[in-house]
Amino acid sequence: MIELILAAAMFAVLMGVAVYVFRAVFIGWSVGYERVETSGSIGNVLNKMTLDLREASAIGSEQDYNEIRFTLGNKHYVYYLYAPGDSYGPPPAFNQEAYELRKAEINGNIGGSFDYGEGGVIITGVVPPPVTELSVDNGLAAIDITVLNPPATVRVRTNIKPRNL
């Protein structure tokens, strides 16, 4: 009888260890999957932005606005960060936890206006400035985007020089 109780106890301990190991492996796999998925999404966003900005005939930004304005053909666009409930200044307050990266058409010329919240959503979960940065300096666009998709956080950075300036 004692041997049977000891065997049952050893079996229970081994099963507990097996469940713990399986759970740890599953959690690690899940985190890795989320990171790969987020990396792929943000990589696609960076490729799209790079294609747009390389073909731009004009490019600019306004200090403290964290946006990139550019001209493609005869239309003017802006990449900017938006979160409902944020106050849009000017400049934007950037006091929310996460933002959407959006692309909108600008009315008028490259220095024209647009309504915050309009345009297509490119990606969500973007960490606000100063971690994320969209800027232009001397004709060189700087893109530094951090996306938080718990449990994964992914950051991409690049500089883009438009070909048509």
Task: Report the SS3 class of residue 147.
Answer: strand
DSSP assignment string, 85-108: T--B-SSB---SS-EEEEEEEPBS
- Give residue-wise pLDDT tens across range 55-70: 999 999 887 788 999 9
pTM of the model: 0.77
Distance (Å, whole) CA 123 – CA 134? 14
Q: Report pLDDT digits (tens) over 114-155.
A: 988 899 999 999 999 888 899 998 889 999 999 887 777 888
Portion of the chain with pLDDT greater than 70, in percent: 96
Domain segments of the chain as ranges: 32-160
By CB neighbour count within 10 A (0-12 exposed, 13-18 middle, 19+ buried), where does 116 fall? middle
